[in-house]
Amino acid sequence: MSQSNHAARWDEAGRLDAQYDAECNAMIEDTYARAEAVLRLGGDHSDLVRGALHEAYLIARRKWGQIREFEAPLGWVIKTAHNVLRRERARTDRETALPDEIPGAPATTTDSWEAEQLRRFWLAQLPPRQAQVFELAEQGFSNPEIGRTLGLADSSVRFYKSDARRRLQELAGAADATR
């Protein structure tokens, strides 16, 4: 192999690496907040979730040549971070509780921020798996995608979604009754 061919291959590899960096960074910026919100619904402390996401995104960058072809890399990121969290829980042999983000539900929802806080408050009252399934469904994931992401059967996804909707309707009804 001549020196010019060798240099050309290095240049091409460098360009491809820069392209992958840019694409992966764009994916991270696009998915981080949603992935963090879904993982937080699992009941893990925010520092653990951020650490798991950091590791998942590092893995994503290493495998970006494959992942970039995925239609929805958010599901892959969530599943990978979920596995990181599960390994961490097994390693430390402890469970963490979902921190109370809101001490009580606001009396009225006058703006979108308060509505979002009320939504988070209600989701925090659901069992973690129900909250995760509901949040992924709200983000547009299909039942099979939710099942693959969280490792659930399709019937379990449907069950969790219907129970979550029922419980959220109960919470909304109770909130309306107190106004």
Asked if 14 and 31 sit in the same domain, the reply is yes
- The C-alpha R_g of the chain, in whole angstroms, comes to 20
Per the CB < 8 A criterion, the answer to whether 56 and 80 are in contact is: yes
Does 33 share its domain with 82? yes
User: Whose structure tokens read 């390693």?
Assistant: 91
pLDDT single digits (tens) 105-151: 444 445 677 777 888 888 888 898 898 899 888 888 889 989 988 88
Same domain, 85 and 34: yes
User: Per-residue pLDDT averaged across 87-98, rounded?
Assistant: 59
Q: What token pair was written down for 40? A: 């937080």
30 and 62 inside one domain: yes
Whether 85 and 149 share a structural domain: no
Shared domain for 61 and 80, answered yes or no, is: yes
Write down the pTM of the prediction. 0.54
Residue 53: is its pLDDT beyond 90? yes
Q: Which of 67, 99, 131 is the last residue of a domain?
A: 99
153 & 87 share domain: no
Token readout for 139 is: 């983000």
Rounded to the nearest 10°, the torsion over CA 148, 154, 155, 159 is 60
Q: Give the pLDDT band of residue 5 (cuts 50, 70, 90).
A: low
**pLDDT at position 109, please?**
46
Domain of 23, in residue numbers: 1-99
pLDDT tier at 170 (50, 70, 90 boundaries)?
confident
Tell whether 79 and 5 lie within a shared domain.
yes
Q: How many domains does the chain have?
A: 2
